[in-house]
Amino acid sequence: MREIRGCVECGSDNLEGNPGGPYAAQAEIGYGGRMLCRKCGHFGQPLSFDSEKMRKEYEKGKVKPGR
């Protein structure tokens, strides 16, 4: 069973584990577990979910009308 993770800020599962650019050095010096969200740009610890359905519900709840 694969681990289901999502961004804390937006709920997206579009996460990058070892980001390049300005975050590359941080990833190499022990910021393990932090991920870059390709949807909103948040860099931090992702949330873990028991199912894809739960992650999608979380993501849906994070989307604000008109955004």
Tens of pLDDT, residues 1-43: 678 999 999 999 999 876 555 555 554 444 567 888 999 999 9
State the pLDDT at residue 7. 94
| Rounded Cα–Cα distance for residues 43 and 36 (Å) | 4
Its pTM stands at 0.70
H/E stretch holding 17: none
In single-letter form, the type of residue at position 35 comes to M
